[in-house]
Amino acid sequence: MRKVLSNDKIHQSAHSAMAKFHPNAVSEIEAAIAAHDWVVVGMAQNPVVMKARKVLNAQNIQFHYIEHGSYFSGWKIRLAIKLWSGWPTFPQIFHKGILIGGCADLEKYLEKK
């Protein structure tokens, strides 16, 4: 399990700042994973995100896609998403509310199904 700083080691003002760090982006993803079996969170121009979408399309799997920025924009929103999920890269792929991981993880997951 990934180590996470204990809440009692975070000052209240830091908790407040953390709560205000792009909460709409996190809420958007939470709503999407509650409403859709498959959700892909990505960014423009990222070839691994494009590959994951192609893998799902090739399997005729319907998915909801959320895109935030590119290599040149939207990094703070993507950082908020990474902090929320704990996953360090994009895409972030969810199936039935569970984080599968990235594209390589998706391919392994689909092989087992």
Bridge partner list, 40: 65, 93
pTM: 0.94
Instruction: Give how many domains the chain has, as a whole number.
Output: 1
Domain CATH for 35: 3.40.30.10
107 Cβ contact partners less than 8 Å away, ≥ 6 residues apart: 55
Residue 15's region, left for phi above 0, alpha for psi from -120 to 50, else beta, is: alpha
What range does the domain containing 33 cover? 11-112
28 within a domain of the structure (yes/no): yes
Establish if 1 belongs to a structural domain. Answer: no
* pLDDT single digits (tens) 32-89: 999 999 999 999 999 999 999 999 999 999 999 999 999 999 999 999 999 999 999 9
Distance separating alpha carbons of residues 66 and 25, to the nearest angstrom: 10
Are the CB atoms for 100 and 111 separated by under 8 Å?
A: no
DSSP string, 15-46: HHHHHTSSHHHHHHHHHHHHH-SEEEEE-TT-
Instruction: Please name which of 69, 85, 83, 75 lies closest in space to residue 32, comparing C-alpha atoms.
Output: 85
* pLDDT band, very low/low/confident/very high, at 113 (cuts 50, 70, 90): confident
2: in domain = no
Q: Does 44 reside within a domain?
A: yes
What confidence tens digit (pLDDT) does each residue in 52-68 have?
A: 999 999 999 999 999 99
Residue 3: inside a domain: no
